[in-house]
Amino acid sequence: MPIRIQSDLPAKEILEKENIFVMDENRAMHQDIRPIKIGILNLMPLKEETELQLLRSLSNTPLQVDVTFVAVSSHESKNTSMSHLNKFYESFADIKRRYFDGLIITGAPVEQMEYEDVDYWEEICQIFEWTKSHVTSTLHLCWGAQAGMYYHYGLKKYLLPQKKFGVYEHRVMNRKVPLVRGFDDCFMAPHSRHTEVRTEDIRKVKELTILAESEEAGVFLAIADEGRRIFVMGHPEYDRYTLDKEYKRDKEKGLPIEPPVNYYPDDDDTKKPNLQWRSHGNILYSNWLNYYVYQQTPYEFIDTAEILGSR
């Protein structure tokens, strides 16, 4: 089944060229099926790039996925045009009375700031609280995961002596949990962050279960409340060249940056990067949509009047 998005979203053409089935809202209206409703709170500066990565990740499922992009109102984006935001995004005020099967909260380039110093922190806290009653399962990514652990469990983040940057090996810690069904014992995944939530702090929280971690990069995946909250410390949605762009951008700015670990063949940044995480990234998103979104959405979240009226 397809991803359902607005017909003129720029990512649509790229996804179609990759043979990903994308359906616009006009065609979707004529299908007798209830799509699962996924919100994406996009906090990344290059929003169109993140849209493409996440839509690509959500496409590997037999379910029809209806995506709503959400932006915070308390921050002015400097890297995405207002015309794009006004056309394709909704505010929290627009959606807060609606229910969603799933919500993705992305990372954000504010990890070296104290949470309370982030200009949209109060709004993020309102969204975290709203998810408790209006979202079946929330998937938190990178800074979104750190912020979620801080809000829900009081876990602090710590500045790393050097940016955790590259592709790291991880080991599955609890194979019985459906979220990691189909994972190999060891798998690769990208990280790009200056801070961490310490593994020993996460272990102390009885509500949190660590599902995958790395000796070098720490916790990658944790789950709470039977999948109502999922925390991903890395970036399984990244495409082949995302780390390459970040590295060369920082290098051109003269910032202290080392080449991404386990990324370029022979550590040569002139060579095409190895794509080593796509299969497990796809499995992660498919498992989330199937086991924690589609199969867990309570009956009262479904707008039965709308469904019955269409028959």
- What residues act catalytically? 142, 235, 237
Contact 100, 133 (CB under 8 A): no
Radius of gyration for the alpha carbons in the chain, expressed in angstroms and rounded = 19
Pair type for strands 89-90 and 208-214? unpaired
Distance of CA 24 to the CA centre of its chain: 22
User: Of the candidates 66, 75, 79, 77, which has an alpha carbon nearest to the alpha carbon of residue 25?
Assistant: 66
Contact 131, 99 (CB under 8 A): no
Measured between alpha carbons, how far is 302 from 245 in angstroms, rounded to an integer?
A: 41
Q: Phi then psi for 163, rounded to 5 degrees?
A: -55, 130
Measured between alpha carbons, how far is 66 from 55 in angstroms, rounded to an integer?
A: 10
Measured between alpha carbons, how far is 142 from 148 in angstroms, rounded to an integer?
A: 10
User: Of the candidates 171, 109, 143, 163, which has an alpha carbon nearest to the alpha carbon of residue 234?
Assistant: 143
Contact 40, 69 (CB under 8 A): yes
Measured between alpha carbons, how far is 171 from 169 in angstroms, rounded to an integer?
A: 7
Q: Which two tokens stand for residue 121?
A: 């922190």
Residue with tokens 């627009």: 94
Q: Which two tokens stand for residue 285?
A: 């998103």
Measured between alpha carbons, how far is 32 from 36 in angstroms, rounded to an integer?
A: 13
